[in-house]
Amino acid sequence: MSEPVIRAENLAVAFDGRTIFKDVTFEVRRGEIFVILGGSGCGKSTLLKALIGLVPLSAGHAFLLGEDLGALDDTARRALLRRIGVMWQSGALFGSMTLAENVELPLEEHTDLPRTAREALARAKLGMVGLGDAALRLPAEISGGMAKRAGIARAMALDPPLLFLDEPSAGLDPITSAGLDKLIREIAQETGTTFVVVTHELQSILAIGDRCIMLDKTAQGMIAEGDPKRLREESEHPTVRAFFRREAA
Ligand SMILES: Nc1ncnc2c1ncn2[C@@H]1O[C@H](COP(=O)(O)OP(=O)(O)O)[C@@H](O)[C@H]1O
Ligand SMILES: [Mg+2]
């Protein structure tokens, strides 16, 4: 079997001595959509940040695209992080720039491509997320769902083999949210990109998740791992059952 895209071994994070999670161990395989789920405040965003070194690990090791992030020097670390696209939960677009200019930003920052090439790539990425006609619009002129699509286009600007999306459907209505799920599936199929998606929307998890882990605040770590559809049928854990079957715990 090929090397996993992410290998997380016994990860732990603590802030000011307070453990957020510990013993978090999982693998993400090439080309899959891997979902991190769990209630508000259980550490989902913190786990994403810890995976890419933005939050220090108090224990464990994270291997990304075959490399141990913690063991790399600055240059190698930057090169590795360039291959990981991220759309943060709060990752807004720059309001004074068009969608195309927003998508061009990572290209300006990380490549020496001439402007015409950057523009062409930005248009292509916007086309992939269904915003080919909206390239010259400003963020204030588009809907919330379109803004999320543009955010995904920006995260894909450098053609990352690995893409993190932190709660992409938060705040969207169910139909827009379902459209976003479909888009994520299409991108995964067409490009072979590996996705790590944070969400606590049950419909999304069942629609896009090949595998998932569930974090829990009380347990300070993982309480489930596997195919979400199987977890729904088979999990004996009261919190996991409650979530997947919408029952009271
Ligand atoms: N930089 C930080 N310093 C201190 N506490 C933090 C920091 N970042 C997050 N936390 C705390 O860690 C917990 C998990 O936060 P977060 O990862 O944002 O949860 P989620 O994304 O699952 O809603 C919360 O209690 C939050 O207040
Ligand atoms: Mg979060």
What ranges do the domains of the chain cover?
A: 94-159
Q: What is the pLDDT of residues 66-90, one digit of tens each?
A: 999 888 999 999 999 999 999 998 7
Residue nearest to atom 17 of ligand 1 (CA): 43
- Which contacts qualify for 185-188: CB closer than 8 Å, 24 or more apart? 185/33, 187/128, 187/129, 187/152, 187/156, 188/31, 188/32, 188/33
Which numbered atom of ligand 1 lies nearest the CA of 44?
Answer: 22
Round to the nearest angstrom and report the end-to-end CA distance of the chain.
38
Predicted local confidence at residue 248, as pLDDT: 65
Mean pLDDT, rounded, for 204-214: 96
- The answer, as to whether pTM is greater than 0.75, is yes
Q: Has residue 231 got a pLDDT over 60? A: yes
> In this model, does residue 1 exceed pLDDT 80?
no
For residue 51 and ligand 1, the question of a CB distance below 6 A is answered with no
Atom of ligand 1 nearest to the CA of 43: 17
pLDDT in tens, 117-150: 999 999 999 999 999 999 999 999 999 999 999 9
pLDDT the model gives residue 22: 98
Q: What SS3 state is found at 228?
A: helix
Q: 129: CA distance to ligand 1 center in Å?
A: 30
Give, to the nearest 10 degrees, the angle between helix 144-155 and helix 174-191.
20
Percent of the chain with pLDDT over 90: 90
The predicted model gives 182-193 an average pLDDT of: 95
Mean pLDDT in residue range 46-52: 96
